[in-house]
Structures are given as structure tokens and as C-alpha cells.
Amino acid sequence: MSRTTINALVAVGAGTFGLALYAGLILLPAWNAYSRLWERLAATVLSLYVLAVLVGVGVAGALAVVYFWG
């Protein structure tokens, strides 16, 4: 396999693993904490905000590493 293929497989695997962790550790408890549908939908939207912040922190950290590497 080429290096590009390996990089793509690692990226897809990490994305799948991260999405599964998000669903299991953030979304599912937020969904089960409420009984009304509108509360559950609001919790889902807020948990998507948490996911966006976590992704943003990860991207910022990776860019900082790339910037300060050499």
C-alpha cells in the first residue's frame, strides 16, 4: 500500500472512532437526560456545539504543532 492510502485509512479510522466516542459519551447521555422531544433536540444541538469546539481545539493544536515544528 502507498503512504497516501495508509494516511487515508488512518484518517477514516480516527474519524469513525471519534464519531463513535462522541455518540456514546456526549450525545447519548444528553439525549437520555430529558424526556420531552424539544428538550432532547435542544440537547442534541448543544452537544453538536461541544463537538465543534472539540474539533476546533484539535485543529488549532495540530496547526500549532505544524507551525512551531521547525
DSSP 33: T
70 pLDDT higher than 80:
no
Q: What is the mean pLDDT of the chain?
A: 93
Domain boundaries, the chain: 3-68
| Mean pLDDT of the region 43-64 | 92
With the C-alpha atoms ordered 51, 57, 58, 63, is the resulting torsion angle positive or negative?
A: positive
Give the total residue count for the chain.
70
Q: Which of 23, 32, 15 is nearest to 50 (CA)?
A: 23
How many whole angstroms separate alpha carbon 66 and alpha carbon 23?
Answer: 29
